[in-house]
Amino acid sequence: MEQQSKAITRPEAVAALTAPGQYYELVEIEVHGHPCRVFKNAPETLREFFYTHRSSNEFYIYDDERYTFEDIYQLSCQVAHMLERDYGIARGDRVAISMRNYPEWVIAFQAITSIGAIAVCMNALWKTEEMEYGLEHAGVRVLIADQERIDRVTPIYHKLALKVLAVRPDKPLPRDIPLLHDAITAHQNVAMPRMIVHADDDATILYTSGSTGHPKGAVSSHRNIINALYSWELDGAVAGYVMRGGKPAPANPPQPAHPPATLLGVPLFHVAGSHAVMLNSYRAQRKTVAMYKWDSEIAAELIERERISSFNAPAAMTGDLVEIAKKTNRDLSSLASVGGGGAPRAPEQVRSIAKSFKNAQPGTGWGMTETNAIGTGIGGQDYLNKPLSSGRPSAILDFAIVDDEGNHLPANERGELLIRGTSIIRGYWNRPDANAETFVDRWLRTGDVAYLDEDGFLFIVDRIKDLVIRGGENVGCGEVEAALLTHGDIQEASVYGIPDKRLGEEIGATVYCRQAVDEESLRGHLLDHLAHFKIPKYIRFHDEPLPRIASGKIAKRQLREEHRAALGIT
């Protein structure tokens, strides 16, 4: 009789797989002046990462366009040469990308980071005013953009002394904005330009909304990003090790019916799209099928046609897919995992994923732009058992729950969640004020109220930061309030979250006006200042000055509860 395998715990699996001599060996080195655990065998830079994963395997699919990893690499060499030779881009220079999920986004990102420049991954939903701030604040020299973004930047690019390259335009361009395709024709059959790039060099700037004022540019190094990718890979290896009871993986494992394929339904300007989906596909040599924008019916069609095996998206999108699965006749049986993040799922949606897809297991995770998307992860039976949990921490990160005085709290006690480790950004671009507010001895203050249970699972229960998380998008209440106050008739404004079944939260606002203001004209005014996802869905007009607490601040909690009650939302 065969002896039953010994049960292996996750900590035991992590220790075994990261031990000296193992592929995922962790060693301690100094990162940004502090000791951190890093993967010994990981590439040092994205330049090396992209070079070593060249292959003839299909990589990026967009509509009827199909590119291999080698196709993307060769095109990125041309773009890199063009940026260096024709635009003088050198190590440390900022080059921005602002477009839909076109193949050119991936090509540009690979080119920029491979020559040591910094890819500024701009939110493609930003309007002119927001784009102007980000471009000027980051000191961007070149912008690579599609038609919609070019339309928004046309009024300001001369003032910013900005060079612009166009992708897929659909109307005549200004004479000084060339097509990217035309700009690289003089750079055929070239190797990646020679450039010395270091692991701790800045690689990306991604803007993330804060609780007040303008968005902050989170700066990540090559090491930050690559170790985040390896952390996800380790989590998968740990799950397999636990399942096998500590036995090594078979030398010739059974091959899946179809090559690995993932659906990119989220924007590449988010770490969920750029890191968890796109960059994660290199190591797995996974086909990535990109969508122009989210549409659940098109998603179901693509899953069936391309035999998609994995899908990661915020709860609103996975919820849409669950509903489509219930009523469509399409074959979605290729799906093996439906992951989440950005906002918590309702427990019923967790159970629905397992019921609605023939072979798919639910999963989720918690991370931030500032952590390069990693943090915690949970899936399968653990997730079904603890649907309110965000999972267990990454092996390269330290987690702490602290009280108001900074004292570390034991299991099951609520406090602010702090994180430190290898994937944490070095800081915010030219924002010493934000760095001082966010970092405490390299501990990152997340602004989330959370607790860790006795098994090490994280539960996020509230927020300290003044943010609304709408469908995975962070919206700073202060930014929306500032935009409201640009209207000449609004004297006071308070912005907050209103619960929403699909998106998690919608944006609500209470305003006090000097004279009557039409609600729709107010929204029209805001569209000149804010991306559409930041425009309040619910606006309540107060007929007297807004109430305040003892400190003199507007009583936001009271206004939020009054608004929820008026809407009949509990």
Q: Which CATH number is 331's domain given? A: 3.40.50.12780
336 and 456 inside one domain: no
Can you read off the two tokens belonging to residue 277? 């989906």
pLDDT at 293 over 50: yes
412 and 374 inside one domain: no
pLDDT at 343 over 70: no
Furthest CA-CA distance within the chain: 85
Residue 320 counted as domain residue? yes
Query: 395, 422, 448: which is the final residue of a domain?
Result: 395
pLDDT at 551 over 80: no
Read off the pLDDT of residues 257-269 as tens digits, 9 standing for 90 and up.
778 999 999 999 9
Q: Which domain CATH number covers 434? A: 2.30.38.10
88 and 161 inside one domain: yes
Residue 27 counted as domain residue? no
Banded pLDDT at 405 (limits 50, 70, 90): very high
Q: How far is 318 from 468, CA to CA, in rounded Å?
A: 20
67 and 208 inside one domain: yes
Read off the pLDDT of residues 142-174 as tens digits, 9 standing for 90 and up.
999 999 999 999 999 999 999 999 999 999 999
Element (H, E) at 366: strand 361-367
Task: Please provide residue 462's backbone torsions phi and psi, each rounded to the nearest 5 degrees.
Answer: -165, 180
- Position 534 scores a pLDDT of 94
Do the Cβ atoms of 532 and 505 come closer than 8 Å? no
- Position 328 scores a pLDDT of 85
pLDDT at 410 over 80: yes
pLDDT at 203 over 70: yes
In sequence order, what are the beta bridge partners of 421?
Answer: 397
Nearest 5°: the CA angle 139, 142, 145 is 120
pTM score of the predicted model: 0.88
387 and 421 inside one domain: no
Q: Give residue 217's Cα distance to chain centre.
A: 13
- pLDDT more than 70, % of the chain: 97
Read off the pLDDT of residues 20-44 as tens digits, 9 standing for 90 and up.
999 999 999 999 889 999 999 999 9
- Position 212 scores a pLDDT of 62
198 and 255 inside one domain: no
Residue 407 counted as domain residue? yes
State how many domains the chain has.
4
* Closest by CA position to 393, among listed 415, 369, 421, 370: 421
- Position 210 scores a pLDDT of 67
79 and 199 inside one domain: yes
Query: 440, 463, 486: which is the final residue of a domain?
Result: 463
Query: 167, 198, 219: which is the final residue of a domain?
Result: 219
Residue 180 counted as domain residue? yes
- Position 256 scores a pLDDT of 77
* Closest by CA position to 473, among listed 215, 212, 297: 215
341 and 276 inside one domain: yes
pLDDT at 2 over 60: no
- Is the pLDDT higher at 157 or at 463? 157
* Closest by CA position to 371, among listed 212, 558, 538, 232: 232
- Is the pLDDT higher at 16 or at 477? 16
213 and 76 inside one domain: yes
Can you read off the two tokens belonging to residue 281? 């596909």
Q: Which domain CATH number covers 102? A: 3.40.50.980
- Position 214 scores a pLDDT of 84
256 and 382 inside one domain: yes
70 and 215 inside one domain: yes
Residue 7 counted as domain residue? no
Do the Cβ atoms of 289 and 263 come closer than 8 Å? yes
Residue 23 counted as domain residue? no
pLDDT at 345 over 80: no
Residue 266 counted as domain residue? yes
Write out the residue range of the structural domain in which residue 490 sits.
Answer: 467-567
Read off the pLDDT of residues 90-142 as tens digits, 9 standing for 90 and up.
999 999 999 999 999 999 999 999 999 999 999 999 999 999 999 999 999 99
Residue 48 counted as domain residue? no
327 and 356 inside one domain: yes
Read off the pLDDT of residues 328-338 as tens digits, 9 standing for 90 and up.
888 888 998 88
Give whichever of 85-99, 254-268, 528-542 has the largest mean pLDDT.
85-99
Summary mean pLDDT of the chain:
92
